[in-house]
Amino acid sequence: MTVFSFVFKRFFKGVANIAFISIIPLAAIFLPLGEWHPLPGGFQYYGIIQLFLAARLSGIILEDRSNKTLLRIGAAPISHFQYLFQNTLAYSLIMLMINLLFVLGGVLVHGEVLINPGILLVLYTFFGMLAISFSLAWFSLFDNKEAAFSVLTGLAMLMAMLGGMMWPIQAMPLLLQRTALLLPTYWLAEAILRLAGGATISQLIMPIAMMLLFSIGFIFLGSRKRLF
């Protein structure tokens, strides 16, 4: 599990990474309730933070490709699957840890306003996996880290806006409302709204299943390109 353990070492050595995971989620915890969303602002927008965090994490694979270490890894007795699996597992654990701290922080700051934090954590966990697989699929299209990141930033914001993370989906034209169903961000926003409306876990199966399906699809797309 060398690749797995070195993901932690490499990620937490980056000052920008440490700043990102400590400042942004912390700041988000303290955002107050918005006008239309039943949850505090940070919990409404946390999906966007997850998309950017996943991009930072998955950027490690892109770095391996651009600094040619992937060639050396390809010459080592480690399969393509093992390499991808160990990377993805490490990213998922880091994401899960940050999700956990974020939700715990939310409970401390907002108390009962944060409806059903346990299920909220489950939703963020599924979306975290989706965000990682989306980043992997996205980065498989690029060899250059800067180009991949700059386009991804715009794309993530667009997905968040069209997916109903920033304003009610009903505020958009009907065509866009229908298009939103094809966006993974929609299913997180929808699940959170349902949860805030008092839904039980069984009533969230549809959005969770959709997030899972998106994850599988993106993982498939991301792993199709042979890295070595």
Partner 1 sequence: MTIVHMKDIVKRYGNQLVLDYVDLDMVEGEILGLLGPNGAGKTTLIHALIGLIKIDAGDIQVFGTSHKGNSLDIKRQLGLVTQDISIYEDLTARENLEFFGGIYGLKGQVLKERVAETLSFVGLSEYANKLPAKFSGGMLRRLNIACALVHRPKLLIMDEPTVGIDPQSRNHILETVRELNRQGTTILYTTHYMEEVQSIASRVVIMDQGHVIAEGTIRELVERIQHEEKISLEVAEVSGELISRLKKLNGIKQVIQKGNELQIISQVGAGNLDRVLAIAREAGGVRSINAEKPTLEDVFLTLTGKRLRDGEAE
Residues that bind partner 1 (CB under 8 A): 2-3, 5-6, 9-10, 13-14, 67-69, 71-79, 228
Min dist CB 60 to partner 1, Å, is 10
CA 15 remoteness from chain centre: 20
Residue spans of alpha helices (H) in 77-144 = 80-110, 117-139
Contact 121, 103 (CB under 8 A): yes
Give 36: exposed, middle or buried? Use CB within 10 Å, 0-12, 13-18, 19+: exposed
Min dist CB 23 to partner 1, Å, is 20
Decide whether 80 or 194 has the Cβ nearer to partner 1. 80
Measured CA distances, 130 to 40, 55, 63, 219 (Å): 23, 11, 21, 9
Decide whether 79 or 200 has the Cβ nearer to partner 1. 79
Decide whether 68 or 173 has the Cβ nearer to partner 1. 68
Decide whether 17 or 185 has the Cβ nearer to partner 1. 17
Decide whether 13 or 224 has the Cβ nearer to partner 1. 13
Distance separating alpha carbons of residues 89 and 142, to the nearest angstrom: 22
Min dist CB 21 to partner 1, Å, is 16
Min dist CB 76 to partner 1, Å, is 4
Distance separating alpha carbons of residues 183 and 24, to the nearest angstrom: 24
Min dist CB 228 to partner 1, Å, is 6
